[in-house]
Amino acid sequence: MELKEQTAVQSDLLKSFEEKIGRDDAIEPKDKMPDAYRKHLIRQISQHAHSEVIGMQPEGNWITRAPSLRAKQILLAKIQDEGGHGLYLYSAAETLGISRSEMIEQLHSGKAKYSNIFNYPALNWADIGAIGWLVDGAAIVNQVSLQRTSYGPYSRAMVRICKEESFHQRQGYEIMAKMMAGTADQREMAQDAMNRWWWPALMMFGPHDSESPRSGDAFKWKIKRQSNDELRAKFIDKTVQQAEVIGLTIPDKDLKWNEARGHYDHGPIDWNEFYNVINGNGPCNKQRMDHHKRVHAEGAWVREAAEAYRAKKEKQLFQSKN
């Protein structure tokens, strides 16, 4: 084809793709889509999948030290869910033509990121409460919005995930509420965890809208439906009330209700810290990645044995037929 014809075909394809987006029709794996749309989704969905999986580490650290059998069962179930969320999302990304092995390679080489929040340590049991309540709480706000994302498999994974997430947040809030109803020491622990997790939780929504404008491809193609600041405000507005109910203080002296905006105003977020952690200098970056690489390598024999067993069974079946 002549270059001119090719460009004409390209722009026709883009036009029909954008018309589809305009009608709010979901895009499905076999549909034609611009390369940039596919790339954006692979990056976002794989990062999301890696976050679910790496997020199992700070909490997994507390399974053997949960304060009761009830607490241990709940934590195990919650962490198992997160593994499941990782799987839903890896599958969604696979429909775009990237393999699971490639995604894991990209995680290990540092090409693919995961949510910054999991580079912070879970120091004590109150942190398990704070993670469920604040970290899952922030994730839910984002994921509820992503249920309406334009790519069908991603949207369906989000719907499934959102159904499972509300238990995560509630079990965390219950831990915090119990501690706040306990001894002075327990209350102090809960407040300390709140103080350490509040700001990183706000950073989960990403840079301010002034830094990452609404006009980008992610909005145009309806991958993203609400801006970082809109989602952050949603999270703050509902969390402040929940903190009040159990007597926790939000560690932000500038936090106050803004009647005109209908949202809370908050103090400045320390973006230096945010970029510092993204660039590998958070308290646990190295630990998280080393752990994932080690466990992945240690599990290789299981996958190889499964393939060998399958091959053996197929051979037996073949021989019995001949």
Partner 1 sequence: MSADTQLEKWEVFIQSKPGANFVHAGCVHASDKKMALQNARDTYTRRGEGTSIWVVPCDAIVASNPDENDMFFDPANDKTYRMPTFYVMPEGAKAI
**8 Å CB contact between 124 and 66:** no
Q: Which backbone phi and psi does 305 adopt, to 5 degrees?
A: -65, -40
CB of 37 to partner 1, least distance (A): 15
CA distances from 128 to 56, 196, 207, 314 (A): 11, 12, 26, 46
Q: Which of 44-52, 59-67, 105-113, 265-273 is the region at the interface with Fe ion (rule: CB under 5 A)?
A: 44-52
CA gap 169, 174 in Å, rounded: 9
Based on the shown chain and the rule CB under 8 A, indicate whether residue 32 belongs to the binding site for partner 1.
yes
CA gap 234, 153 in Å, rounded: 25
CB of 298 to Fe ion, least distance (A): 24
Site string for partner 1, 117-156 (x = CB under 8 A): ---------------------------------------x
Residue (260 or 300) nearer to partner 1, CB: 300
Contact with partner 1 (CB under 8 A) among 84, 121, 206, 207: 84
Structure tokens at 234: 């949603």
- 222 contact partners, CB below 8 Å, separation of at least 6: 21, 24, 148, 149, 150
Residue (80 or 249) nearer to partner 1, CB: 80
Q: Is 30 helix (H, G, I), strand (E, B) or coil?
A: coil
85 binds, among Fe ion, partner 1, none (CB under 5 to 8 A by kind): Fe ion
Contact with partner 1 (CB under 8 A) among 208, 220, 310, 315: 310
Contact with partner 1 (CB under 8 A) among 68, 101, 109, 241: 101
Per the listing, tokens 């919005």 go with 145
Phi-psi region of 213 (alpha: psi -120 to 50; beta: other; left: phi over 0): beta
40 binds, among partner 1, Fe ion, none (CB under 5 to 8 A by kind): none
Site string for partner 1, 251-290 (x = CB under 8 A): ----------------------------------------
Angle at 59 between CA 58 and CA 61, to 5 degrees: 75
CA distances from 117 to 167, 189, 212, 242 (A): 20, 20, 19, 21
30 binds, among partner 1, Fe ion, none (CB under 5 to 8 A by kind): partner 1
Positions touching Fe ion (CB under 5 A) are 52, 82, 85, 136, 165, 168
Positions touching partner 1 (CB under 8 A) are 28, 30-32, 77, 80-81, 84, 87-88, 91, 94, 99-101, 104, 156-157, 160, 164, 300, 303-304, 306-307, 309-310, 313
